[in-house]
Amino acid sequence: MSRIGPDSHHIRTDVPARLDRLPWSRFHGLVVVALGITWILDGLEVTIAGAIAGALTESPALRFTEAQVGGIGSAYILGAVLGALFFGYLTDRLGRKTLFYVTLAVYGTATFANAFAWDFWSFAAFRFLTGAGIGGEYAAINSAIQELIPARYRGRTDLGINGSFWIGAALGAVGAIVLLAPGVLPPDLGWRFAFGIGGALAIIIIFLRSFLPESPRWLMIRGRIGEAEHIVEGIEARVRAETGAPLPPPGRPITLDLSRDTGMWAVARALFTHYRRRSILGLTLMTAQAFFYNAIFFTYALILTKFYGVPVSSVGWYILPFALGNFTGPLLLGPLFDTVGRKPMIAGTYALSGVLLIVTGVLFQQGVLTAVTQTVAWSVIFFFASAAASSAYLTVSESFPLEARATAIALFYALGTALGGVAAPWFFGRLIATGDPGQILIGYLIGAGLMILAAGVELLLGVSAERKSLETVATPLCGVPAAAE
């Protein structure tokens, strides 16, 4: 690090270049596990809520209607929307690491409380708070992952981590199978114990995160260059000790003007003026995938029980292969986002997901499918849709300046989820309640149309960010162009 001129606010640093030149190491594996487990928690929460939908309608204490089950899903998503906005803003102001613990505490406390819900409104309130914790996690965790992972691994890592949502889904499915099995627990206790799984995981995660540092990039733009370089030196030492080889030379340093305004209004100008096209892209991708996922998955159990006669206690068995397709999609397709490129892969997975949903929706409406073939169809669709949804988070988390990263993630997650996700479970719950497959097909066609539209927007406005440093993709608000140094 060096200052340019006496008492100058201009600082030249190679912190980003040093982070990006690192080979993959156990440190990066720790980042993936300790931070990426957020998606496992979300998958666990969503799956438990979906798998126990039938149990909630049969619970002696609750007796929810199908519409109320959909409303519970909407409460969770609304909490995630508002939590992302609130905690996302704090993440850019207070740092990534501080919010690791705050959002996790909110989630853990609320999900435990859900086990003690006594009516619809208490259940909805606790689900809202659980969603707020998860929404805050998305903003804080996506920011840190992007800033700690080397550029050439960023796409596949981000997709793989987002795909781990479905590890949580599988855990939730197994938990539902065990806890909702006839004779294991009384009908009104099985679903309550299911919520304890997430709370127990939260305690383990707190321990794992204690080994992670603050983001050096965040410290850098806050003027805390000494702290940032100290953390980077520690990471470099760990990597050298692990590989036994010298590190390659870092790339070109960047120059920062720490006197520049990077406050809320500067962030707003960046998002809605300078990066307006990227904002449109991010909102479109997030909205389409939110409607697609939340409409279908939050009501998955209702489709199985109402149209195929699957017992409530067996729903988990049908979620397991569905979860497998969703997990393997980002895992296997992820490397192509770093090699083939962002635009063709994002547009391709969005468009293919939409087309496959149309075909499956028509087959469902015609009564051709069984519970097994319906599950196979969903598994194939979401092999691609899971990669598409993960790429939406990748896009909004790498396309904006460092000072606005968590805010941008939170804003577009919140807006996209509010537009495409909050009403989707309720809307599909009402369609399912009619008992008419034709009505449900209309919902499927809407979801498919949104995915195909998003594919077109990606082709027009997509950002070719593969293998590029974050500072190259979007110059920090306090960054100084090379010509002005």
**Which residue type does 413 have?**
Y
Averaged pLDDT, 194-221: 82
Task: Determine contact, residues 412/282, Cβ cutoff 8 Å.
Answer: yes
Task: Determine contact, residues 216/236, Cβ cutoff 8 Å.
Answer: no
pLDDT (tens digit per residue) in 423-439: 777 777 778 878 888 88
* Full domain range(s) for residue 136: 14-246+263-475
pLDDT at site 4: 47
Place of tokens 């440093």: 469
**484 in a domain, yes or no?**
no
pLDDT (tens digit per residue) in 349-402: 999 999 999 999 999 999 898 989 999 998 999 999 999 999 998 999 899 998
CATH number, residue 38: 1.20.1250.20
Between strands 2-3 and 254-257, the pairing is: unpaired
Structure tokens at 127: 């689900």
Q: Spell out a b/e string for 334-344, using b for 16 or more CB atoms within 10 Å of the CB, else e.
A: bebbbeebbbe
Task: Determine contact, residues 415/285, Cβ cutoff 8 Å.
Answer: no
Find the helix packing angle between 26-51 and 66-94, rounded to 10°.
150
Q: Where do the DSSP E strands lie in 1-45? A: 2-3, 10-13
pLDDT, the chain, mean: 84
pLDDT tops 90 at residue 337: yes
**267 in a domain, yes or no?**
yes
Global pTM reads 0.82
Q: Confidence band (pLDDT; 50, 70, 90) for 6?
A: very low
**149 in a domain, yes or no?**
yes
Nearest to 99 by CA among 39, 131, 143, 129: 143
**314 in a domain, yes or no?**
yes
pLDDT tops 50 at residue 2: no
Nearest to 133 by CA among 80, 76, 85, 186: 80
**327 in a domain, yes or no?**
yes
Radius of gyration of the chain (CA): 23
pLDDT at site 52: 66
**394 in a domain, yes or no?**
yes
**5 in a domain, yes or no?**
no
**482 in a domain, yes or no?**
no
CA atoms of 224 and 27, how far apart (whole Å): 22
pLDDT (tens digit per residue) in 229-253: 999 999 999 999 998 888 988 888 8
Query: How many domains, in total, are found in the chain?
Result: 1
